[in-house]
Amino acid sequence: MSQIETFYDVMRRQGITRRSFMKYCSLTAAALGLSPAMVPKIAEAMETKPRTPVIWVHGLECTCCSESFIRSAHPLAKDVVLSMISLDYDDTLMAAAGHAAEAAFEDTIQKYKGNYILAVEGNPPLNEDGMFCITGGKPFVEKLRHAAKDAKAVISWGACASYGCVQAAKPNPTQATPVHKVITDKPIIKVPGCPPIAEVMTGVITYMLTFDRLPELDRQGRPAMFYGQRIHDKCYRRPHFDAGQFVEQWDDENARKGYCLYKMGCKGPTTYNACSTIRWNEGTSFPIQSGHGCIGCSEDGFWDQGSFYDRVTDLTQFGVEANADKVGMAAAGVVGAGVAAHAAITALKAAQKKTQSSKEEA
Amino acid sequence: MVTTPNGFDLDTTGRRIVVDPVTRIEGHMRCEVNVDDDGVIRNAVSTGTMWRGLEVILKGRDPRDAWAFTERICGVCTGTHALTSVRAVEDALGITIPDNANSIRNMMQLNLEIHDHVVHFYHLHALDWVNPVNALRADPKATSELQQAVSPSHPLSSPGYFRDVQNRLKKFVESGQLGLFKNGYWDNPAYLLPPEADLMATTHYLEALDLQKEIVKVHTIFGGKNPHPNWLVGGVPCPINVHSTGAVGAINMERLNLVSSIIDKCIEFNKNVYIPDVKAIGGFYKNWLYGGGLSSQACLAYGDIPENPNDFSPEQLHLPRGAIINGNLNEVLDVDPRDPDQVQEFVDHSWYDYGTPGKGLHPWDGVTEPRYELGPNAKGTKTNIKELDEAAKYSWIKAPRWKGHAMEVGPLARYVVGYAKGHEDIKDQVDGFLRDMDLPFDAIFSTLGRTAARALESEYCGRLQKHFFDKLITNIKNGDESTANIEKWDPSTWPKEAKGVGMTEAPRGALGHWIKIKDGRIENYQCVVPTTWNGSPRDTAGNIGAFEASLMNTPMERPDEPVEILRTLHSFDPCLACSTHVMSPDGEELTEVKVR
């Protein structure tokens, strides 16, 4: 145990004092919307935990999720990879290839049965017997099923894994299929977006490491802490919407004043994501702040909802809440999925208790 | 033994080695080679192993939306497909963009080149040259001296700094959880660096990881996020307001200052870390000059970074345009993407069917009907491939050819074309590099040359990024704040039918989008992308593509450990999601296939 470097070790070694470390834990708690009472628990987790093995597989995708992940500023991607998780298989970043890579994959599954997290970027195509996405000479879907079988939990990174994304847009020629339609017996955390925000990705992982549980999920299986509200709800341009001040045309006077982009097709009113609060790339900006409407990339089937410049038509200015709620409900799918996920969380916790060697608060 | 029309002797009698998956690339790829008794590669087979069908998905959509779809072809070279797409639509509809939009687009494209090159070198390619496990044996003090010798102005160079990194690595390795380094080929004699160089480079792997998240903020400022910033047909979506009320909602002085500071960071990193590292590492590998492949005989570049908006004539482009064939560097041919006889795609060895064998089709007239089948000499089954039969169909990548020639594209191709054209900046860089390395000109036709060209280009793009920032400021000073031309935003202003081409130089090479618009909708969309060129399978005539050619005649230290194969393939920065998405332009239904 003493050989294993914990997150606390990392911070101490970088010259960070105990006091600053505790402050970091407080900030983490605040960022995750947790009460100050949780701070000691976060601190303890970071002081004692060995690194959790992660297998990160890639189906049909564009790698934007991996690219987003490495943009994380807090925590830094290097600290996640060196000190928080053990990324034992990730074909985008790993040193080994071919047989040696496949061996690392198998070895991790065998060694950490039931204790590794499976992160899925992209999705499996089911047409052509799955051979529209081949890895190791076999259909990707086989690899996905194999890795999922003994995983503790599955993270569906991004719109591809969560909903299908662009290759599943009509007519979906490869029958690209989201992960939860192929893996039906595991807790799945959907982290949608094309890609998801970097700090949301690392936030989900650190939450799981810190609290030994899945984040609370909404009916669609998304972490409620990051996907609980519409972009519109927290948009800094919302007062302009309420005041009826709109951009009427690209680069007009109103655009230069930062008015609301609703009339330019902004999908903020129907999109659940943290873009308007956490923002992108260390809080630098987000699409609306940079003058383009939201295209709704974290919503199911956003490619097939008409042009990105079509106004959200069933939205009247004062009826926005009710209408957008309806949109959210319609997209939410069956309630049963949420129940299943909850049952799985319980199972997960039980499994963890069994295997955790470190002391754990009741 | 067979000699290909482009001059390579293929011998399939030796032992077959399979590498699948090829890792540290974007997307999915397989590689098979035959090695002779001395472990020298005598036959190479490169296979794209994924297909997404994006172009059929684009059919019938609003052309103004196409940038968002095509941007999702690749999240690594994010934005470059979007830029190519808006250019194609603007070309088709005769839309001109304002000067500021040109400067901002150029900054975004250059920013991507730098980001992509840095991430490629440190996070996808470095482990082919650098051994992080060996870094544990380094003396931090000697590492510090090495750092100060190769890059006197880099501030992070103290012995204590390197000791800290080494300790962290040590703890990491000793934990027994090797993570990304697991099962690496760390005792393979193909690794030539002394421990101190390994420690320095591994340290920069971490520094570059921190830096790359800063670089992309230029995209975030102008496009709202990265990966996948937002673009706009007719200009850029970000308005400029530096003087008046509401400036906080637009590109204002604070935003511009942030852009400026990031541009400086890029320049500093290129100067203090990236270029010195390539020289330092390259110095230990300067006798390993394999991997030239097609670079000495056939290079293609479309050119990019127009000095002025709406003018794509070759002399106006900062990144050069041109084609070199038959190894004749004395003549650079002009490239016309509209000419039906220049760019053509072949599918005789790809998992598609044209109906008639041997046919090559220009992208505007392309047909793509997927047809997945293995040749008679393949081993395994259709869903469990052991060995491919390259005499038949063997890849999801088509075989594009320029006037019938297999071409290399990418930073090295751009630099070869630029050098041959007498491009002053490029010539200075290349000559200076070769002089510092004490290598002859021909040395650039190699894996190392490809890797060096990418670094030099990153440095050049840093300077250009600053140039266009200054140009933007000057233009704003002169009273022009315009960023979008909306004259033809409304589809009712469009002709009934139109067709256009967009071209860019993506980080990985020449990228083209061909669009046909009818009644305000996309009738046909085709992309021919860099890795389609580089990763192409054989064509009808039997010419091998750039990946395959580059592996030929390379000796392997240990044939079971594909360090040399990875090193050379990675030097192209393969992007498989890009290369393997082509789809039927006439919207032919896919053959119905069995659904699991």
How far apart, in whole angstroms, are the C-alpha atoms of residue B408 and residue B449?
Answer: 13
CB contact under 8 A, A88 and B486: no
**Number of Cβ pairs closer than 8 Å across A and B?**
346
Q: Could you give the 3-state DSSP secondary structure of residue B185?
A: coil
CB contact under 8 A, B62 and A73: no
In-domain check, residue B189: yes
In-domain check, residue B456: no
Q: What is the dihedral of CA A281, A284, A288, A290, to 10 degrees?
A: -110
* Confidence class for position A340, pLDDT limits 50, 70, 90: very low
* Confidence class for position A13, pLDDT limits 50, 70, 90: low
In-domain check, residue B440: no
CATH number of the domain that residue A117 is part of: 3.40.50.700
Share of chain B above pLDDT 90, in %: 92
Q: Which long-range contacts (CB under 8 A, 24 or more apart) does B328-332 make?
A: B329/B416, B329/B419, B329/B420, B330/B420, B332/B417, B332/B420, B332/B421
* Confidence class for position B223, pLDDT limits 50, 70, 90: very high
pLDDT tens per residue, range A282-295: 999 999 999 999 99
pLDDT tens per residue, range A106-135: 999 999 999 999 999 999 999 999 999 999
In-domain check, residue B268: yes
Same domain for A91 and A160, yes or no, is yes
In-domain check, residue A149: yes
Q: What are phi and psi of A257, to 5 degrees?
A: -90, -5
Known binding residues of B for Fe cation are 77, 578
In-domain check, residue B342: no
What local confidence, expressed as pLDDT, does residue A37 receive? 74
* Confidence class for position A33, pLDDT limits 50, 70, 90: low
CA–CA–CA angle B473, B474, B477 (5° rounding): 85
CB atoms under 10 Å from CB of A151, counted, come to 25
In-domain check, residue A37: no
Over 80: is that where the pLDDT of B108 sits?
A: yes
pLDDT tens per residue, range B377-420: 999 999 999 999 999 999 999 999 999 999 999 999 999 999 99
Question: Å from A82 to nearest chain B CA?
Answer: 7
How far apart, in whole angstroms, are the C-alpha atoms of residue B96 and residue B90?
Answer: 7
3-state secondary structure labels for all residues of A112-144:
CCCCEEEEEECECECCHHHCCEEECCEEHHHHH
pLDDT tens per residue, range B303-323: 999 999 999 999 999 999 999
Average pLDDT on B341-349 reads 96
List of residues 6+ apart from B491 with CB closer than 8 A: B62, B520
Over 50: is that where the pLDDT of A324 sits?
A: no
Domain that holds residue B217: 96-289+462-486
What local confidence, expressed as pLDDT, does residue A39 receive? 75
Average pLDDT on B96-101 reads 98
Average pLDDT on A184-203 reads 97
CB contact under 8 A, B21 and A98: yes
Count the domains in chain A: 2
Whether A101 has its CB under 8 Å from any CB of chain B: the answer is yes
Question: Å from A33 to nearest chain B CA?
Answer: 24
What local confidence, expressed as pLDDT, does residue A7 receive? 64
CB contact under 8 A, A290 and B76: no
What local confidence, expressed as pLDDT, does residue B578 receive? 72
In-domain check, residue B415: no
Same domain for A79 and A149, yes or no, is yes
Share of chain A above pLDDT 70, in %: 77
Known binding residues of A for [3Fe-4S] cluster are 275, 294, 297
pLDDT tens per residue, range B507-526: 999 999 999 999 999 999 99
* Confidence class for position A18, pLDDT limits 50, 70, 90: confident
Average pLDDT on B291-299 reads 98
* Confidence class for position A326, pLDDT limits 50, 70, 90: very low
Provide the token pair at A60.
């049909």
Same domain for A93 and A237, yes or no, is no
Whether A111 has its CB under 8 Å from any CB of chain B: the answer is no
CATH number of the domain that residue B206 is part of: 1.10.645.10
Chosen from A7, A134, A245, A309 to mutate, greatest number of chain B CBs within 10 A: A134
Average pLDDT on B539-550 reads 97
Same domain for A318 and A350, yes or no, is no
pLDDT tens per residue, range B488-499: 999 999 999 999
Over 50: is that where the pLDDT of A305 sits?
A: yes
pLDDT tens per residue, range B417-436: 999 999 999 999 999 999 99
The ipTM (two decimal places) reads 0.95
Q: Which helix (H) or strand (E) holds B17?
A: strand B15-19
What local confidence, expressed as pLDDT, does residue A25 receive? 72
Share of chain A above pLDDT 90, in %: 70
Same domain for A291 and A207, yes or no, is no
Count the domains in chain B: 1
pLDDT tens per residue, range B62-94: 999 999 999 999 999 999 999 999 999 999 999
CATH number of the domain that residue A249 is part of: 4.10.480.10
Model confidence, pTM: 0.90
CA–CA–CA angle B277, B281, B284 (5° rounding): 155
Task: Write out chain B residues lying below 8 Å of A145, CB-based.
Answer: none
- Residue in B224, B227, B244 nearest the CB of A285: B224
Same domain for A351 and A288, yes or no, is no
In-domain check, residue A88: yes
CB contact under 8 A, B28 and A95: no
What local confidence, expressed as pLDDT, does residue A22 receive? 75
What local confidence, expressed as pLDDT, does residue B521 receive? 97
What local confidence, expressed as pLDDT, does residue B55 receive? 81
How far apart, in whole angstroms, are the C-alpha atoms of residue B164 and residue A14?
Answer: 8
List of residues 6+ apart from A133 with CB closer than 8 A: A59, A60, A122, A124, A125, A139, A140, A141, A174, B28, B49, B50, B51
How far apart, in whole angstroms, are the C-alpha atoms of residue B254 and residue B289?
Answer: 47
CB contact under 8 A, A292 and B223: yes
Over 60: is that where the pLDDT of A180 sits?
A: yes
Task: Write out chain B residues lying below 8 Å of A82, CB-based.
Answer: 168, 172, 179
What local confidence, expressed as pLDDT, does residue A26 receive? 73
Domain that holds residue A316: 229-332
Same domain for A194 and A274, yes or no, is no
Same domain for A195 and A62, yes or no, is yes
What is the average pLDDT score of chain B? 95
Same domain for A206 and A74, yes or no, is yes
Tokens 């230990």 map to which residue? B284
Over 70: is that where the pLDDT of B334 sits?
A: yes
In-domain check, residue A10: no
Question: Å from B67 to nearest chain A CA?
Answer: 11
* Confidence class for position B53, pLDDT limits 50, 70, 90: confident
* Confidence class for position B161, pLDDT limits 50, 70, 90: very high
Over 70: is that where the pLDDT of B438 sits?
A: yes
In this predicted model, which residue has the larger pLDDT, B471 or A32? B471
CB contact under 8 A, A250 and B123: no
Same domain for A162 and A92, yes or no, is yes
Question: Å from B65 to nearest chain A CA?
Answer: 6
Chosen from B47, B69, B180 to mutate, greatest number of chain A CBs within 10 A: B180
What local confidence, expressed as pLDDT, does residue A355 receive? 42
